[in-house]
Amino acid sequence: MTLKGKTAVVTGSNSGIGLGVARELARAGANVVLNSFTERDEDHALAADIAKEFSVSARYIQADMSKGDECRALIAQAGACDILVNNAGIQHVAPIDEFPLDKWDAIIAINLSSAFHTTAAALPMMRAAGWGRVVNIASAHGLTASPFKSAYVAAKHGIVGMTKTVALETAEEPITANAICPGYVLTPLVEAQIPDTMEKYDMGREEVIKKVMLERQPSREFATVEQLGGTAVFLCSDAAAQITGTSISVDGGWTAL
Ligand code: NAD
């Protein structure tokens, strides 16, 4: 599988799943554009490391995915966008009658509206290039719900729906649009929660992972960022050319329950 010569833009990719997906796309030969809202030396260093490790071109472009004009500017600045991975996302947990309005607005903007703006900006480039892949990182919460996550669940269900519309609008073109729905993924953020949870439940690491954190994930294993990246690479492959408008769960059986 080679994605040599393709350019992938991955939103929210200076950590976690976005970085993992960008690394796997680069391993498959794609040039990559990393993104987040920060502008630090270490953000640019991540891109330099990828360029060196995989012999591809890699850049970091600062853009705040909560702002529509910055989403569109990211794609314009990238100059090319054959593969668009909409990954940037945040979470906030509260009962709906106490859910802070600013958190609702931020989650809808970053987890859903950003993908509307980047996709609108990227599709003309994909059409001009005669090939394109839109990969939206949704969630098991794009297909099922949990209490206290109204904004996140709404945004993730929204992006699964928008993926279908983009797929229909591009169905007769060499462009596909799909969603990946991860269950619980071992990112640095999740890893950091393990010690506190161990203390709270007075359990060892493995017990806390299997009994508390992965209670809803039948495999009792985290998905990894490399597995998510591998799924994105597959969706960019020729084998996936007729896969469009669907979602692929990488959730250890969560949505089979
Ligand atoms: P993370 O916090 O490590 O990554 C989120 C990324 O989004 C970071 O790079 C962050 O800088 C970026 N980001 C946040 N706000 C932004 C903004 N305003 N503009 C630009 N970038 C911004 O978390 P993660 O777990 O890697 O999450 C990545 C995606 O995967 C999210 O959409 C999340 O909903 C989804 N997801 C994660 C899990 C999981 O278990 N970790 C499960 C299902 C879905």
Decide if 152 is catalytic: yes
Q: Rounded to the nearest whole angstrom, what is the distance from the C-alpha of residue 137 to the centroid of ligand 1?
A: 9
Q: Rounded to the nearest whole angstrom, what is the distance from the C-alpha of residue 111 to the centroid of ligand 1?
A: 9
Specify the amino acid at residue 109: A
Q: Rounded to the nearest whole angstrom, what is the distance from the C-alpha of residue 80 to the centroid of ligand 1?
A: 23
pLDDT at 189: 81
120: left (phi over 0), alpha (psi -120 to 50) or beta: alpha
> Rounded distance, CA 101 to CA 63, Å?
23
- 185 secondary structure, DSSP code: B
| Residue 110 near ligand 1, beta carbon < 6 Å | yes
| CA nearest neighbour of 32 among 8, 15, 53 | 8
> Rounded distance, CA 115 to CA 228, Å?
18
| Residue 89 near ligand 1, beta carbon < 6 Å | yes
The strand ranges marked E within the chain are: 7-10, 31-36, 58-62, 83-86, 132-137, 175-182, 247-250
> Rounded distance, CA 63 to CA 12, Å?
9
pLDDT at 1: 64
pLDDT at 188: 86
Q: Rounded to the nearest whole angstrom, what is the distance from the C-alpha of residue 78 to the centroid of ligand 1?
A: 20
DSSP for 68-105?
HHHHHHHHHHHS--SEEEE---------GGG--HHHHH
Which atom of ligand 1 is least distant from the CA of 228? Answer: 30
- Give residues with Cβ within 8 angstroms of 141, minimum separation 6: 149, 152, 153, 156, 157
Which atom of ligand 1 is least distant from the CA of 140? Answer: 43
pLDDT at 216: 92
Average pLDDT for consecutive 10-residue bins of the chain (257 residues)?
94 98 98 98 98 98 98 98 98 96 98 99 98 98 96 98 99 98 92 91 94 94 97 98 98 97
Burial 51-62 (b: 16+ CB within 10 A, else e): beebebebbbbb
Which atom of ligand 1 is least distant from the CA of 91? Answer: 34
